Chains A and B, each alone.
Chain A
Amino acid sequence: MRAIEPRRYVVYVAFLLILAFFAATLSDDGFLSEDNLLNIVRQTTPVTVMAVAVVFVLSAGEIDLSLGSVVALSALVTAEVMKTQSAVLAVAAGLGVGLATGAVNGLFVTLLRLPSFLVTLASLGIVAGLARTITDLRSVAVDDQSFIDIFGSGDVGPIPSLAFWALGAVVLGHFVFRHKRFGAHVVATGDDAGAARATGIRVDRVRFAVLVLSGAAAALAGILYTGRLEAATYTLGEQDLVTVIAAVVIGGTRLFGGEGSVVGALIGSLIMGTLTNGLILWGLSTSEQLIAQGGLLLLAISLTLREPRRELA
Chain B
Amino acid sequence: MSAPLVRIEGLRKEFRAVVAVEDVTLEVSPGEIVALVGDNGAGKSTVVKCIAGVHAPTAGRILLEGRAVEFSSPLDARSQGIEVVFQDLALASAQPVYMNMFLGRELVKGPLRRLDREAMAAETKALLDGLDVLVESPHRAVRDLSGGQRQGVAIARAMYWAQRLVLMDEPTAALGVAETRRVEEQILRMRDGGRAILIVSHSLDQVFRLAHRICVLRRGRQVGIRRTSETTGDEIVAMITGLRDAD
Contact = CB atoms under 8 A, between A and B. Distances in A.
Contact of A194 (B73, B90, B108): B90
Contacts of B114: 179-180
A183 to B, nearest CB: 8
B206 interface: no
Contacts of B115: 178-181, 183-184
A199 B74 contact: yes
Interface string B77-120: 01000001010111111110001000111101000111100000
A59 to B, nearest CB: 10
Interface string B32-66: 00000000000000000000001000000000000
A195 interface: yes
Contact of B90 (A3, A181, A198, A310): A198
Nearest to B147: A313
Contacts of A3: 139-140
B74 A258 contact: no
B113 A192 contact: no
Interface in A119-149: none
B244 interface: no
Contacts of A181: 106, 108, 113, 115
B186 to A, nearest CB: 19
B94 A259 contact: yes
Contact of B78 (A179, A200, A313): A200
A191 B88 CA distance: 14
Q: Which among A179, A192, A199, A313 has the highest number of chain B CB atoms within 10 Å? A: A199
Given A199-B103, A200-B78, A313 B90 contact: no
B67 interface: no
Contacts of B90: 192, 194-195, 198-199
Interface in B111-147: 112-115, 137, 139-140, 143, 147
A55 to B, nearest CB: 15
A299 interface: no
Contacts of A259: 94
B87 to A, nearest CB: 11
Interface in A182-213: 183-185, 187-188, 191-192, 194-201
Nearest to B144: A3
Nearest to B79: A200
Contact of B143 (A194, A198, A310): A310
B92 A191 contact: yes
Contacts of B103: 184, 188, 195-196, 199, 201
B26 interface: no
Contacts of A254: 94
A309 interface: no
B175 interface: no
Contacts of A2: 137, 139
A147 B66 CA distance: 65
B74 A191 contact: no
Contact of B104 (A178, A191, A199, A258): A199
Which are the 10 A-B pairs with shortest beta-carbon distances? A200-B75, A198-B90, A200-B104, A199-B104, A258-B94, A191-B92, A199-B103, A195-B90, A179-B114, A192-B92
18 contacts: A1-B137, A2-B137, A3-B140, A179-B115, A180-B113, A180-B114, A181-B106, A181-B113, A187-B94, A188-B103, A192-B92, A194-B88, A198-B74, A198-B84, A200-B104, A200-B105, A258-B93, A258-B95
Interface of A: 1-3, 178-181, 183-185, 187-188, 191-192, 194-201, 254, 258-259, 310, 313
Given A1-B137, A184-B103, A198-B74, 4 more contacts: A1-B139, A192-B91, A198-B90, A258-B95
Interface of B: 54, 73-75, 78, 84, 86, 88-95, 99, 103-106, 108, 112-115, 137, 139-140, 143, 147
